[in-house]
Every structure is written in C-alpha cells, then in structure tokens.
C-alpha cells in the first residue's frame, strides 16, 4: 500500500494520498489548494493515477484543492450528501463504500464539527477529519456545528472502532501525526466527560476566535463545481426535460457513468447502459464498447450531477466521437424533471 501523510503548514492541514500499488489508482483526502502542484508532482513520481479527491467536510480554514485536482486530472470529486458545496461529482452517505482499485473506504457520517462532517475507515485506520483530533476535537460553534451531535459521533461511532485503530486527523497544531482510538479514549481531555450535556457545556465554554481564512475559504469551498459553459455552448448538453423522451428511442443510447452503489441507491434511467467513469478511457478508445456504438447511435452520458458526464463528453469529443452529449445536472436533474426510474 502507498500511504502518504502530507502537511500544509499555513493551515496545519494533513492531506492523505492513498493507493494500493505503484502504477495504480489513487485517492486523496482533504487536499489544500496551495499544495496542488506538489500533490500532482508526487502522484507523477509514484506513477499513480488520481481517480478520487475527497473532503471530509466543508473547510473554513483553507481553500480545498478538489476543483483544481479535478481540472488537472479529471478525477471524481467526493463529499457527503449534506455538504453545501455547489457541485461535486459524487456524494456519499453513511454506510457507503468508497472504492478505488484494490482499496475500499468505509463511510461514517459524523456530524458535529459541521453538519457535513464524515470519517472514513480503511483496514487498520480511520481518517477523522475535524471530528476527532489528537488530544482534541473540532470546534462546533459555526457551520451548523453541534456539540451534542459531535458527542454522539465520537462516543457512539468512532470510539466503537477497535482500540488499536489508527487515528489520522485533518489537522494538528502541535506536531502530532497519528494516534489510536484507545489512546484518545484514555488521554483526550475533551473526552473526559460524563455525558453529552457535560460535553456541550465544555464546548460552549471554549470561546474561540473565528479562523482567519473563514470569510474567504467558506464561500470559495462552496463553489467547486466544474465550469460547464463550454460543453453547453457547443451543443453537447441536453436539459433533463428534453431527455425525458430518450428511453426506448433507438437513435440514442443512454450511458450511466456512475458506480454500482450509486445506481443501487438512487436508481437509474430505464434502458441505460452501465459504463463506469473509471473505465471511460478504455470504453471510448479505439476498439472500446462506446467507440463502436458512437458510429451508429448518439451517446448520451449521464451521472449523478452532470460533472462526470461533462468530462466524459469532452473526452469523447476530443477522441473524435462527435455524437457524444450529456444530460446536464445528471440523475438529480432527471428526477426533478419527473423522469422514470429503473431499479
Ligand atoms: Fe474543519
């Protein structure tokens, strides 16, 4: 396994780069915008292909590198379904599995620091975001934070993980890099409370100053969606309403780019072909399934929110598949337009 813990000294943020092997797919957690060039260089040096970029929550102390990494690598951006971000490629919920080649992260919804905070488990470790820090916990006094919810997330979810689970937080201000669940249970001063009410009182008494970057970072982090004007201007985007008549139309083929878990949880468009975004290059390349189909039918890509499909249209068009277009806004727009669903 490749595991790198990277540090941004300005915001004291830890960013994690994960992959199962050299030459394979990689995932990054909590990237910082100013460090994107360094991540890209490391990814290249390790011969990795970044396929997913994930934020544990909407950050208030730094600008996320999600959008920039997507623009450079065409990776999938991921956040929780509660996040106030305008558009990410994929939204996850409690109990999901987040997969890349050779690796799977468990998804735990842990509100409290913010209402969109998530933790991610992987084999012997957990990425705790700002929910559980080393000898601390994330503040709960803004961004719909809740000390009571955080108590529940920590005591009833994180502390139920095996004692030896390694704890990798999103920040540390003292130089600590890793802890364990048992160590935090025993020595974290914020966890020395009898009940939720006592935890609430403790958090209410902290009187912290607002993060320096907050007024800049929060608005910037809420606007990470891909700029899709060019795809629309070139006539490669269909409004969901205009796509309602497509199922059953033999001139077109609807192509679902989402992953299996997303299809199971949210349904799909009747008759759609499943061709996950991860396999796009192979599918649209010479000899690929979609390459062949493009000669006889119009390719209508769709995904969850229109971001993966916009990138797919651009890639297909760049590869000479002139019949490629997509459904703007993806399944979310399709459902709003009253589109039919198949399980
Ligand atoms: Fe945070």
Whether the pLDDT of residue 78 is over 90: the answer is yes
* Residues sharing a CB contact under 8 Å with residue 150, sequence separation 6 or more, in sequence order: 110, 111, 112, 113, 131, 137, 138, 140, 199, 203
- What pLDDT does residue 212 have? 86
Whether the pLDDT of residue 343 is over 80: the answer is no
Residue 192: pLDDT band by 50, 70, 90 thresholds? very high
- What pLDDT does residue 211 have? 85
Q: Taking all residues of the chain, what is their mean pLDDT, rounded to a whole number?
A: 97
Q: d(Cα 283, Cα 270) in Å, to the nearest integer? A: 21
Q: 309 CA distance to ligand 1 centroid (A)?
A: 30
- What pLDDT does residue 210 have? 86
Q: 62 CA distance to ligand 1 centroid (A)?
A: 9
pTM of the model as a whole? 0.96
pLDDT digits (tens, 9 = 90+) for 27-66: 999 999 999 999 999 999 999 999 999 999 999 999 999 9
Q: d(Cα 302, Cα 240) in Å, to the nearest integer? A: 10
Q: Residues 221-233: what's their mean pLDDT?
A: 93
Q: Which residues lie at CB < 5 A from ion ligand 1?
A: 130
Whether the pLDDT of residue 311 is over 80: the answer is yes
Q: d(Cα 173, Cα 13) in Å, to the nearest integer? A: 9
Residue 253: pLDDT band by 50, 70, 90 thresholds? very high
Q: Residues 158-181: what's their mean pLDDT?
A: 98
Q: 113 CA distance to ligand 1 centroid (A)?
A: 7
Q: Residues 105-114: what's their mean pLDDT?
A: 98
- What pLDDT does residue 269 have? 97
Contact indicator for 217, 30 with CB cutoff of 8 Å:
no
pLDDT digits (tens, 9 = 90+) for 257-301: 999 999 999 999 999 999 999 999 999 999 999 999 998 999 999
Q: 295 CA distance to ligand 1 centroid (A)?
A: 48
Whether the pLDDT of residue 122 is over 90: the answer is yes
């Amino acid at each position: 396994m490749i595991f790198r813990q990277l540090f941004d000294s300005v915001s004291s943020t830890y960013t994690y780069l994960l992959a199962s092997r050299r030459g394979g797919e990689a995932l990054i957690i909590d990237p910082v915008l100013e460090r994107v060039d360094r991540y890209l260089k490391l990814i290249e040096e390790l011969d990795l292909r970044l396929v997913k970029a994930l934020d544990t929550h909407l950050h208030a102390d730094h600008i996320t590198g999600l959008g920039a990494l997507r623009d450079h690598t065409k990776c999938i951006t991921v956040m929780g379904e509660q996040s106030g971000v305008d558009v990410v490629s994929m939204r996850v919920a409690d109990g999901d599995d987040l997969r890349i080649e050779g690796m799977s992260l468990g998804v735990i919804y842990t509100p409290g620091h913010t209402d969109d905070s998530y933790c991610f488990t992987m084999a012997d470790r957990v990425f705790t975001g700002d929910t559980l820090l080393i000898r601390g916990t994330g503040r709960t006094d803004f961004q719909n934070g809740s000390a009571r919810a955080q108590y529940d997330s920590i005591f009833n979810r994180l502390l139920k993980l095996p004692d030896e689970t390694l704890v990798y937080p999103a920040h540390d201000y003292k130089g600590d890099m890793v802890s364990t669940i048992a160590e935090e249970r025993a020595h974290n001063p914020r966890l020395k409370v009898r009940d939720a009410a006592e935890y609430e009182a403790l958090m209410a008494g902290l009187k912290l100053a607002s993060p320096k970057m907050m007024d800049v970072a929060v608005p910037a982090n809420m606007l990470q969606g891909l700029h899709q004007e060019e795809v629309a201007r070139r006539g490669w985007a269909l409004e969901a309403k205009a796509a309602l008549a497509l199922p059953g139309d033999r001139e077109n083929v609807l192509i679902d780019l989402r992953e299996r878990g997303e299809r199971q949880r949210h349904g799909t468009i009747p008759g759609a072909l499943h061709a996950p975004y991860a396999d796009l290059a192979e599918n649209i390349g010479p000899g690929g399934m979609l390459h062949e189909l493009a000669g006889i039918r119009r390719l209508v890509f769709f995904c969850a929110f229109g971001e993966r499909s916009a990138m797919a249209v651009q890639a297909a068009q760049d590869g000479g598949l002139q019949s490629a277009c997509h459904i703007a806004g993806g399944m979310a727009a399709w459902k709003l337009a009253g589109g039919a669903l198949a399980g």
